[in-house]
Amino acid sequence: MGVICFTQEFTTPIAPARMFKALILDSHNIIPKLVPQGIKSIEFVEGDGGAGSIKQTTFPEGGPFKHLKHRIDTLDSENLVCKLEKVVYEVKFEASSTGGCVCKMTSEYHTKGDMELKEEEIKQGKDKAMGLYKVVEEYLVANPDVYA
């Protein structure tokens, strides 16, 4: 088993608590509405959304995956941190001096056996994550009362 790790971050004018609510706490509602071409649905198949819950993301037909499941291992609403395991994806929202926030993401892919992730696959995943964050940012800018 190998581990591949990368980090990325972006700055947004949206307050950290609003980004956390949209992208973490209510992602199962907002993301399928904002990007239906990429995500058909997100639902909890176990738990209520807190630590230990299992969330299933279902993709539209014709994509490389039918669905994926992940378990929420840490959910810290006070410090605005969510952590998933086995693809360990940690996202933290920190206040910036401009009133918005810096979203810091760290991903670790724990591969099975001799499976290797290609650099292009990692880049595509990073680009999709950044695109999703930008879509949510645009929605929150256009709708200042949502998650306020």
SS3 17: helix
Return the amino acid letter for 143: N
User: 27-62 in b/e burial notation, b at 16+ Cβ within 10 A?
Assistant: bbebbbebeeebbbebeeeeeeeeeebebebbbeee
Residue 51 and residue 74 in contact, taking contact as beta carbons nearer than 8 Å: yes
Tokens of 51: 């630590």
Asked which of 38-47, 65-74, 129-138 is least confident by mean pLDDT, the reply is: 65-74
Q: Looking at residue 34, what is its pLDDT?
A: 97
Q: Cα torsion at 108, 77, 93, 91 (round to 10°)?
A: 10
Residue 132: how many CA atoms within 13 Å on its side-chain side? 21
Residue 116 and residue 2 in contact, taking contact as beta carbons nearer than 8 Å: yes
Q: Alpha-carbon Rg of the chain, whole angstroms?
A: 15
Token pair 């200042």: residue: 144
Q: Is the confidence at residue 112, as pLDDT, over 70? A: no
- Residue-wise pLDDT for 71-81, tens only, equals 899 999 999 99
Per-domain boundaries in the chain: 3-142
**How far is it, in rounded angstroms, from Cα 82 to Cα 84?**
7
| pTM greater than 0.85 (yes/no) | no
Q: Is the confidence at residue 1, as pLDDT, over 70? A: no
CATH number of 3-142: 3.30.530.20
Q: What is the mean pLDDT of residues 45-74?
A: 90
Residue 34: how many CA atoms within 13 Å on its side-chain side? 20
Residue 11 and residue 102 in contact, taking contact as beta carbons nearer than 8 Å: yes
- Residue-wise pLDDT for 62-111, tens only, equals 877 788 888 899 999 999 999 887 777 899 999 999 999 999 999 888 77
